[in-house]
Amino acid sequence: RLDVYPFTMEDQWAKTVLTGSRCNGNHCYPLDRKPIGADSNQVVHLVVIGNGALAENLALTAALVAHYPNYLRDNSLRSRITIVSTDTDRTWSNFRQRQKALFDNSYWRTIPLEDDSLKPFFHRPMYSGTRDDFVDVEWEFALGNADNPLLRQKLAQWAQDARQQLTIALCSKDDEQNYDLAFTLPDAVYEHKVPVLVSLSKAEVMENVSLGDSMYSEVHPIGMINKGHDVRMPVIQMAKRLNYFYTYSFGGKGVPTSMPKDEIEKEWAMQTSVALRFSNIYNSMSLPTKMRSLGHDENDWGKFYALTQNEIQQTATVEHNRWSVERLVLGFRPPTDSERAEIEENIERLAAAHRRGEKSELNDLKSIYKKRKIHYDLCSYAELGIDKTGQDVRIYDYDLTACIPLIANSYHEDGQERA
């Protein structure tokens, strides 16, 4: 059977850089270089300088994977994505329009760096103050040049700030401009070993610079057309296992205790929904981040057997936050207050009928609204309720989290066989 996967080079590079394997010298530079656990006061911060397809894909991929358990303790500890461009007003305004559901429900601001006549603009989530925050990523859009003195001052401050893990991506469409900027950032960037990801069409332009033993050891070329891709598609292999979990669990069988390879492939082949396939892919992209938050890396995935109850509860909440951003990126929005009340009343009546063992003639409004890309579960973890059977919907995140060791082990074993 032939599987066809639609992708662009820029999308593939963004996934490789931020979510791929760090083994065997692959081009992967995770935002959380040091694990961010529940007690951490750190946040990750991606600064993208430039615009274009790679810049957008890096920003969106970061939003899809940068979710950490310390946000549960303090919801001011949001991952931050900063976009810097002279074209911020037009290009990135269009980006916000394309991702309307995401930005309607996120904190973001615009900052004019060079035009004193323009005022900063600050946006709060549309239900701020009436509902709990549930988006753990914030954005800022700085209108100006990369050599702006205020920006250079901020980059130096951020590089030295122990409360954040900074990554800088240089994404101008001009290779020469990216190359020059890569080696002329504020000294603090290099002194504090901040990863600088440089978009270049070919890596050979860096061959004359000895990076390994210099202050520029964390300057890395990305986006090349002639290298950098893992043909084994590790994200897809992980996504297949997540798909198997969902098929098994939602089929009323509970949590799987094994992952037979033939069954994994069979269920993936039967999954014809492109949207659900991509949902599994987006979920799989975040598993390495979750593993690091739990104190594990790829070197011990084969020896990772179980989670404690506390770890399951914590990671289930993180998973809901990740899922919420994924749904927003895919164009879903939360219901309005009146829609929410209507769905809630309908769920209560359906659940009551289920408890009595009766077959209700009522329509399932939650499913009907979902088909219109309005999702009742787009809310904070604490505000989640029950489904039409009376089951607490949190159980689904809980079960998935409990299955992470099995998924990681299955993926590790498959990787050993492929090696």
CA distance 284 to 43: 21
Residue-wise pLDDT for 163-198, tens only, equals 999 999 999 999 999 999 999 999 999 999 999 999
Instruction: Tell me which residue has tokens 């810097």.
Output: 84
| DSSP state string for 345-395 | HHHHHHHHHHHTT----S--HHHHHHHTTB-TT-S-GGG--B-TTS-BTHH
Res 416: pLDDT: 47
Could you tell me how many residues make up the chain?
419
Residue 2: inside a domain: no
Q: Are residues 244 and 171 in the same domain?
A: no
Residue-wise pLDDT for 329-377, tens only, equals 999 999 999 999 999 999 999 999 999 999 888 999 999 999 999 999 9
Q: Are residues 210 and 275 in the same domain?
A: no
Res 419: pLDDT: 44
Q: Are residues 243 and 160 in the same domain?
A: no
Res 77: pLDDT: 98
Q: Are residues 189 and 297 in the same domain?
A: no
What range defines the domain where residue 108 resides? 9-222
Report the number of distinct structural domains present in the chain.
2
Q: Are residues 337 and 373 in the same domain?
A: yes
Two structure tokens written together for 358? 């009766």
Residues of the chain under the 50 pLDDT cut: 24, 416-417, 419
Q: Are residues 130 and 252 in the same domain?
A: no
Q: Are residues 411 and 276 in the same domain?
A: yes
Res 213: pLDDT: 59
